[in-house]
Amino acid sequence: MIKCCFCEQPLVCRECRRPFTPRQGETHVGVYQADTAVSCPECQKILACKACGYVYGENDKSDEAE
Ligand SMILES: [Zn+2]
Ligand SMILES: [Zn+2]
């Protein structure tokens, strides 16, 4: 089970609510690389943690005021 690097809860896709399981050979995937977008293998959407809402892929360098 992969844990969310932000809240350390089991990482579950917010969109489809399935546990995130990396494909074989991708044990550590890009989940822990902030600059790499991670897509859910089930629904193909950008992976977001269901527990805390952390999005694995949004490059949030700009202001959130938009
Ligand atoms: Zn989380
Ligand atoms: Zn999903």
What would the pLDDT profile of 29-42 be if each residue is shown by its tens digit? Answer: 545 555 678 889 89
Rounded distance from Cα 66 to ligand 1 centre (Å): 24
Rounded distance from Cα 41 to ligand 2 centre (Å): 7
Does the reported pTM lie above 0.85?
A: no
CA 37 to chain CA centroid, nearest Å: 8
Closest ligand to C-alpha of residue 38 is: 2
* 66, pLDDT greater than 70: no
pLDDT value for 27 = 55
Closest ligand to C-alpha of residue 16 is: 2
The phi, psi pair for 32, rounded to 5°, reads -95, 10
Tens digit of each residue's pLDDT (9 = 90 or more) over 1-53:
789 988 999 999 999 999 998 766 655 554 555 567 888 989 999 999 999 99
Rounded distance from Cα 43 to ligand 1 centre (Å): 18
